[in-house]
A and B are shown apart, each in its own frame.
Chain A
Amino acid sequence: MDLRGRAAICGVGEVGPFREASDRTAVELMLEAGRLAMVDAGLEPAEVDGLLVAPLLVGAPVTLPSMLAEYLGLSPTYADIVDLGGATAAGMVWRAAAAVAAGAARAVLCLTGEAVDPESFYTRGVRWPGLPLPEFERPYGPMGANSGYAMIAMRHGYEYGTTDRQRAKVAVDQRQNACANPRALFYGRPITVDDVLESPVIVDPLHLLEIVMPCSGAIAFVVARPEVAREGLHPPVYLLGFGEKVTHSMPSHAPNLTTSAVAYTARRAFEMAGVEPQDIDLVSVYDCYTITVIVTLEDAGFCPKGRGGPFVEEHDLTYRGDFPVNTHGGQLSYGQPGLAGGASHVLEAVYQLRGEAGERQVRDCQLAFVQGNGGIMSEQVSLILGVEP
């Protein structure tokens, strides 16, 4: 389905991020973000007739959409859960747009959020009976996603010569962006390449400062028909193209650990939008680790395959730079509030395209490329968002 210009993001809500959830639950955080998104869209609950919900990492109950719909005062004609790990939020955007284009709903509220439980980080999902991950991977001591991305970085270094310093540059530039985003967890704390390289190696070759920090928070957005969005309180942000592909779950089963499905999803999205990588003003791509950004930039076509390391070294990735990437700080510096971490890239694209990014506003920002990535480069969703339909 060609969804170019068929729907727009017209409301966003952001709660946190917080280092600690204190006594707030994930559900409470998600509901608050949902309320803020509807207020931002200028819509009342009776006008919102679609609901997409992210699962909670700690284990969501069944029928979560109806529970949250009831709480929010919605009676949706379209309700579902989207479970694509870090690609969930980007996956929600095109699903909501497809629902809108199909006439299943006029305005779809999308909810993501988490109240983090650091204790469960490496061990959640241990009880899945009959699924391969706990049986064939956990006995060998993987370190959650950390070891998966470390193995990507190791192989990328072997195949393309990508260095520690090149990966560190991603963390440094994104931290500079976070220093212009008061909401970022690491606001006001700039770092240097040496700081990254001197931080402890957690899983070779990844250093502590190349690894995302789990935290609490929630992000919600409203995707609506263009005529609904145009009556809103802010300029609509149109979906112009998307692509999605799921290639594996365990890293051992990736067709190729150094070339991801972004190569497919980005091409689809660019073709649908009728634009090229060089037309993009803002790159807002999933960054659970530094290597993720490098592989994504290559596979999306912003630089030749294998040249991601030199590319990030040669370009200024800050909001003032020649190639702005993750101007909110990325998850590496904003924080990763569960599946809302992947929503932070959508949210930042909306702020930038609306011209509401404040100090970190990218000049004349018309087109944004967003990438959601789940698991170990397992689930990929590309989006092209723009100010014109």
Chain B
Amino acid sequence: MANSLTRQNRAGWLMAGPAFALIVVFLILPFFMAVAFSFTNQRLVSPNPTEFVGTRNYERLFGIATLTLEAERDETGAVVMRDGAPVYPRLRGFTRDQERYPQYFRKREWFSFERAGNRRTYVLASDVVFLKAVRNTVLFVLVVAPVQAGLALGLAMLINRRIAGINVFRAIYFMPVVISMVVVAMLWRFIYDGNDGILNNLLGAMSFGAMPPVDWLGNPWTALPAIMAMSIWQGVGFHMIIWLSGLQTIPASLYEAAEIEGASRWQTFRYVTWPGLRNTAILIMIIITMQAFTLYPQIAVMTQGGPLDSTQSVVFQMVERGYGKQDIAGGSTISVFLFLFVLSISLLQGWLTRQRP
């Protein structure tokens, strides 16, 4: 029964076929493969057959335990001090003893804090590097998303006027977006260079030499902020364009009405511009958040996660595991985690910004 409808459908499927096949092979299949691999010990190349390992990969990533220790005391019962600080028993005694302390086995110190009564609590983790990567990535998102969105909005409002030559500014602000992040990151290595970098030269000149050069990417305190600053600069033009399109949907007569009613610039922004940008703002926050969570090329080009793991990121760890260490299962586990994490944040954002009656 080949009626015209099914025939047309067949032609339709044939036309959609190539695109559909590519999507299945390169997007849908890998997604399910990653989920499947995360429950195995799959390696990139291995002579041994792949085995199902249950949730072991996830336990390794998220294995966390806390351990509170008493300070060491001498024969008189006084606290042993060294360099003005109490001395605590070595952690190795706990983390290497699978018999007595299976819960601490092979874990490493993530961080610790002093408690009252000469006690100290240690947070131990099976995968400290991964947790640092999560912490850095979240920090990156928390700083980059609002700053980038805010700056982009500011620029969009500046260029949203009809002045001669305004397109030149639009093009200039948009230019970094067109350049690949890899290229941008390579260029910015010159800016951030510790000896003769442009930034150090500039700061030195502006402070008449009073400011000593900083190794921006080599210092654990400045490396992540430096990467944040560059990332904001690179992406701000893209979001500016989205804001600009949102601004242009606001009718000019609303601004004129506000002007006649006597609204100040701030009041105009508050009562006209911002409410008119509501949907754009939601879109931008979701896009920026998702983009920022996939922080990778900057790290790969500029710091490789260093110094002292201060710029590890989730995606960098994912690639590092999967290809650097050939641990496809471990990399897949991280990618599944990232998927669920970003998904839940997007859902949360969607819920928070839902249309209320």
A is bound by B: no
- Chain B residues at the A interface, C-beta cutoff of 8 Å: none
